[in-house]
Amino acid sequence: MNRELSRLAAAVGLDEPDREPLRLAFGLACARRVEHLLEDPRAAQCLSVLQAFVDGTADHATLERASQEIAAVANSHRGSNSLDGAAHAAVSATYATANALAGRALEAAGYAAYAAVYGYGSYAVADPSAFDGEFAWQVEQLKTLLHASQHEARRHEE
């Protein structure tokens, strides 16, 4: 668990209804970070829908349909056929994507961090320090997105 990210999310009210754009943008960033681990083309298509929604070119109904589809994909993922043992990385990346589309940003971040670290090798997840780089990236990413959203809000007030 990324404690610093959890504290920051609580401090900025990430779970508040008016923070949906920030939650979705952050979840998208986390899922994009492990997109290369996705093995089901439907997962990548759903992630593209989230990108379109964040960009303002898709509506809530389209996002909801994609969220339902990726949830089904994640829940039926049987793991990877690859010989490198990346099954958990692929499954975790798919769950990161599903949570991102559902607006569960912290859950998306958790699965994305696990997928990224597991992608190094299964041995890595046993070392808590292996997550440090991902956790730091996530905190900085949320800060960057928060700053951008605050800047955008100020522009609209003027």
| Structural tokens at position 144 | 């960057």
Q: Distance between CA 117 and CA 97 in Å, rounded?
A: 16
36-70: per-residue pLDDT in tens?
999 899 999 999 999 999 999 999 999 999 999 99
* DSSP states of the chain: --HHHHHHHHHTTTTSGGGHHHHHHHHHHHHHHTGGG---HHHHHHHHHHHHHHHTSS-HHHHHHHHHHHHHHHHT------TT-THHHHHHHHHHHHHHHTT-HHHHHHHHHHHHHHHH-GGGGG-GGGGHHHHHHHHHHHHHHHHHHHHHHHHHH-
The structure tokens 């979705």 sit at 24
Can you give the pLDDT at residue 77? 64
Q: Which of 24-38, 63-77, 110-124 has the highest mean pLDDT?
A: 24-38
- What's the predicted TM-score (pTM) here? 0.91
142 pLDDT above the threshold of 80: yes
